[in-house]
A and B are shown apart, each in its own frame.
Chain A
Amino acid sequence: MSGDWPLWEVFVRAKGGLSHRHVGSVHAPDAELALRHARDTYTRRMEGVSLWVVPSAEIVASDPDEAGELFEPAESKIYRHPTFYDIPDEVKHI
């Protein structure tokens, strides 16, 4: 039966100031119930303060066959990592 329902991707904001993170997906007949299902499935243990649901069919994904040209060029550019700096202890979530 749930196979008749579209799939929705679920994003949870753990607390104010943090970005929404993808946590999984739910089946639901429409957007409103997708939010309800997301709430009941992914925020039962106080995981979040805000929820997004997005129709999975609306996600545009990169082509795995293009992984080489998309991602490999970054591998040799370690100077792009901020590892040459000391991050103050007070700065969270980096």
Chain B
Amino acid sequence: MASVAPVDAPDSARVGYLLRLGDDALVLGQRLSEWCGHAPVLEVDLSLANLALDLIGEANLLLGTAGDADRLAFHRDVLEFHNCLLVEQPNGDFAQTIARQLLYSTWQHMQLQRLTGSSDKFLAEFSAKAVKEIAYHRELASEWTVRLGDGTEESARRMAEGLDWCWRFVPELFEVDETLQAAIESGIAADPREFEEQYRLAIAAVLAEGQLETPAEQRPILGGRRGHHSEHLGHLLAVMQFLPRTYPDATW
């Protein structure tokens, strides 16, 4: 099927950037919603569902500004998604979900703080609102990281394994390619390289509080921003997209 991302449009850097932000939020929101009804306890079930709803709300705004949100969410294939690889990683156990959330929310929070000063009016206003939601995501993930790390022997082992699984996807968050460079130069995007050191210090501080070691550096895995995804994204999209694709006229 034809690509719905108008990559040749005059404001393609803007659309490309919106798709990255929107796809991150959509895919992570869908991942978190998989916990609904399965979380370790009722209260955590609600916590994770709230995070998912925040992210899907953000995705709706971002993709709705990039184009038609429903078409972008439900009628693109894997190669046309621009999310980072971290957010599509499977939930694993609760500790792995928290590790993914800590690593992503901390990055997202720092990025949104900068985007409140974007030259793009929509992005500046969007970020001013979203930054509060994501500050909460970051705090919640940090608190759970500390409790699992500084909890029982089993919870500490699981937390360390979850971090180890996710760690190879962190460098992608700070990669600047041509699309992002163009968006940075036009003043609409935040340059992640400016806060990489701050990010690593912040993560290290949370891990230290949780008696956790910073994982050893691993060979980074890159490519999500260019549509090169892991097999996990295809399975996620199959679940998320099958209904509107099978029943294109369905309304609810």
Contacts and interface: CB of A to CB of B under 8 A. Distances in A.
A73 to B, nearest CB: 41
A29 B147 contact: yes
4 closest Cβ pairs, A-B complex: A2-B41, A37-B43, A40-B47, A40-B46
A2 B143 contact: no
- The interface residues of chain B, by DSSP majority, are classed as helix
Contacts of A2: 40-43
A26 interface: yes
Contacts of B147: 29-30, 33
Contacts of A30: 147
Interface string B197-228: 00000000000000000000000000000000
Contact of B41 (A27, A36, A44): A27
B41 A41 contact: no
Contacts of A74: none
Interface in A1-51: 1-2, 5, 26-30, 32-33, 36-37, 40-41, 44
Interface residues of A, number: 15
Given A1-B41, A2-B42, A27-B41, A37 B47 contact: yes
B43 A40 contact: yes
Contacts of B46: 37, 40-41, 44
A27 B40 CA distance: 12
A40 B143 contact: no
B33 interface: no
B140 A36 contact: yes
Interface residues of B, number: 11
B40 A41 contact: no
Contact of A41 (B43, B140, B143): B43
B50 interface: yes
Interface string A56-86: 0000000000000000000000000000000
Given A27-B43, A28-B43, A36 B143 contact: yes
Contacts of B40: 1-2
Nearest to B146: A32
Interface string B22-43: 0000000000000000001111
Contact of B50 (A5, A27, A33, A44): A44
A36 B47 contact: yes
Contacts of B140: 36
A26 B46 CA distance: 11
B143 A33 contact: yes
A37 B140 CA distance: 10
B87 to A, nearest CB: 21
Nearest to A26: B43
